[in-house]
Amino acid sequence: MKKCLAFFLVIVMAALFAGCGTSENQESSVADSSEAQSVTEAPETMEAVPEETEPSSSEISVVSQEETSEETFGTEEGTGSNILVAYFSWADNAVLAEDVDAVASPSVIPPGNVQQLAGWVQEKTGGDLFSIRVTDPYPSDWDDCLSRANQERGEDARPALAENVAGLEQYDIVFLGYPNWWYGVPMALLTFLEENDLSGKQVYLFCSHGTGGLANSVGRITEAASGADISDNIFDCFEEDTASSEEEIRGWVSELGFSADSAGDESVESEEPDMEVSDMEQRQISVQFGGYTVIYELNDGTAAASLYEQLPITVEVEDYSTNEKIFYPDQALDTSGAPLAAAGAGTLAYYEPWGDVVFFYGDYSENPSLFELGQVVSGGEHISEMSGTITIEAAE
C-alpha cells in the first residue's frame, strides 16, 4: 500500500513564525516520529513542512530578545582564538547542478541560510569558521533532498563527514548553526557531535528553519552533546527572513558578550592582561606625505593592534567621498573587541566590510561596521591634503 505523507503549505503559520530572534529552549511537546517515512508528495516551497508532527503555533513561542537578555555571561572569556563557529548548511552539502530549474522544482541556492548566519557570527566573534560537510553530498533538488534526509532520519544514520575540527581542544566556546531538518537536525550534525566532543565547552545554538521553528532540534543536540554546556539563549530565524537578519544575529552575539563592538564589556575581556593590547596603550603612529606629518594615538582595541603589527606601511592613499582618505592594508584587521567609531573629524577608523582604513577629516555617520582605531593628536589640519604615496610608521 502506498505510504502517504501529506505536506501542506502553512502560510498563516509562516506569519506567526516570521522574523528572527532569540528563544529559550522551546522544544516541541509533540514527540518526534522515529518511523521512517517516505516522501510521496513534495512540498512546493520551502514553507512546506511535514504535517504529521509539525508543532502547532501554540506549541512553539518565540521569546523576544528583551525577555531573554537577562541571561548574563559575565564569567565568559571570548578572544576569538578560543571560539569556534561550526555550522551545517544544505548549500555547502549539495551538488550544485547548473541546469537546475529552480522554478519548476525548488532547489538549493547558495549561499545557504545557516551559512549566512554563521558568516555574521564569525565576523562578530573573530572565531574560526568550520563548515560541517558530508562526504556524500545531498541532491540539490528539494524533493530529492527531503527524501534522502527523511530516509537517513528513519535509519538513525550518521552520514560520514569530510573532516573533523582540527585542534578542537583550543576552543572553549562553540557557536553551532544548523537548519531544522524533519523537525530535528540533519543527521550529519549528530555525526559531528559524536566525533567532535564538545564536553565542557560553552555552546550557543543558532538555527534557520521553516514554519516548524526549532521543533525537536535542541533536544537532539542536547542528547548528542550531553557533556556540553548548551545555552538556552538560542537564535532562531525563519528561512525567508534569514538574508535580512544580519543586524538581529549580530545583536544576539553582542547580547552574549562576544560582539566585536562591545569593547568595554567586561565579559569579553580576559582577566589576564593581553600583552599585545596592553602594549598598545599610548602608542602613536605617524602618517607622512608631501612634507607633512600627521600623528595619531591608537586606542587599545584589537583592530588598532592589528594595524600596528603591520607597520611600517607604504601605500597609495585614495579619496573617498568628501570627508575621507582611505587605504587598504595588506591584512584584514581583527575587530573583535574593537570599539565602534563615534567621534568626528580626526578619527582613524576601519570599515570592516571593505577592509579599508579611513582617515576622517569631516564628520561622518556611525555605522555598526565602522571601528575606531585612534584619534589624531597633531597635524589634523593636513588630513584633507593627503594624497599619493603615504608612509605610516610607529612614532616614538
Ligand X SMILES: Cc1cc2nc3c(=O)[nH]c(=O)nc-3n(C[C@H](O)[C@H](O)[C@H](O)COP(=O)(O)O)c2cc1C
207 or 256: whose CB is closer to ligand X? Answer: 207
Cell numbers that stand for 148 in this block: 534522502
- Residue nearer to ligand X on the CB measure, 143 or 232: 143
Pick between residue 160 and residue 332 the one whose CB is nearest to ligand X: 160
Cβ 90 to ligand X, closest distance in Å? 3
Query: What residues between 228 and 247 interact with ligand X by CB under 6 A?
Result: 239, 242
Least CB distance to ligand X at residue 21 (A) = 15
Q: Does 37 bind ligand X (CB under 6 A)?
A: no
139 binds ligand X (CB under 6 A): no
- C-alpha cell recorded at residue 45: 516551497
Closest contact distance (angstroms) between CB of 239 and ligand X is 3
* Contact string 105-134 vs ligand X (x = CB under 6 A): -------xxxx-------------------
Angstrom distance (rounded) from CA 337 to CA 264: 8
- 102 C-beta neighbours (distance < 10 Å), count: 12
The residue from 210, 251, 257, 346 that contacts ligand X (CB under 6 A) is 210
346 close to 375: Cβ distance less than 8 angstroms = yes
In angstroms, how far is CA 265 from the centroid of its own chain? Answer: 19
Considering only CA atoms, give the Rg of the chain: 24
Under the criterion CB under 6 A, does residue 50 sit at the interface with ligand X? Answer: yes
- Of the candidate spans 141-149, 251-259, 286-294, 346-354, the one that interacts with ligand X by CB under 6 A turns out to be 141-149
Of 22, 23, 28, 89, which lies in the binding site for ligand X, with binding defined by CB under 6 A? 89
What track of x and - describes contact with ligand X for positions 180 through 209 (by CB under 6 A)? xxxx------------------------xx
Residue choice 211, 245, 335, 336 for contact with ligand X (CB under 6 A): 211
Does position 62 bind ligand X by CB under 6 A? Answer: no
Give the nearer residue to ligand X in terms of CB position, either 246 or 352.
Answer: 246
339 binds ligand X (CB under 6 A): no
Which one, 84 or 392, has the nearer CB to ligand X? Answer: 84
Alpha-carbon dihedral angle through residues 165, 219, 43, 47, given to the nearest 10 degrees? -90
- Residue 46 binds ligand X (CB under 6 A): yes
Position among 7, 90, 206, 258 found at the interface with ligand X (CB under 6 A): 90
Angle formed by the axes of helices 142-154 and 187-195, to 10°? 50
Least distance from ligand X to the Cβ atom of residue 163, Å? 19
In this structure, how many other beta carbons lie within 10 angstroms of the beta carbon of residue 244? 12
Question: Smallest distance, Å, CB 244 to ligand X?
Answer: 13
DSSP annotation string for 32-80: PP-S-----S--SSTT-EETTTPPPTTT--PPPHHHHTT---TT----S
Q: Which residues pair with 80 in a beta bridge?
A: none
In the complex, least distance from residue 99 CB atom to ligand X, rounded to whole angstroms: 20
49 binds ligand X (CB under 6 A): yes
Does 153 sit near ligand X (CB under 6 A)? Answer: no
Alpha helix segments (H runs only) across 196-241: 217-224
Return the closest-CA partner of residue 350 out of 123, 83, 82, 85: 123
**According to the binding rule CB under 6 A, does residue 179 interact with ligand X?**
yes
Is 232 or 240 the residue whose CB approaches ligand X more closely?
240
Rounded distance between C-alpha atoms, residue 214 and residue 63, angstroms: 12
Taking the least distance from each CB to ligand X, the nearer of 13 and 392 is 13
CA distance 30 to 183: 10
In the complex, what is the shortest distance from the CB of residue 104 to ligand X, in angstroms, rounded to a whole number? 17
Quick one: 75 exposed, middle or buried, by C-beta within 10 A (0-12, 13-18, 19+)? exposed
Name the E strands within the chain. 7-8, 20-23, 49-50, 83-87, 128-131, 173-179, 202-209, 229-230, 234-238, 284-289, 292-298, 313-316, 318-320, 324-327, 347-351, 356-360, 370-378, 389-395
Among residues 105, 189, 206, 207, the alpha carbon closest in space to that of 149 is found at 189
With b meaning 16 or more CB within 10 Å and e meaning fewer, what string describes 246-260? bebbbbbbbbbbbbb
Q: Least CB distance from residue 100 to ligand X, whole Å?
A: 14
**Cβ at position 150, least distance to ligand X in Å:** 7
- Which spans of this chain sit near ligand X (rule: CB under 6 A)? 46, 49-50, 89-91, 112-115, 145-146, 149, 179-183, 208-212, 239, 242
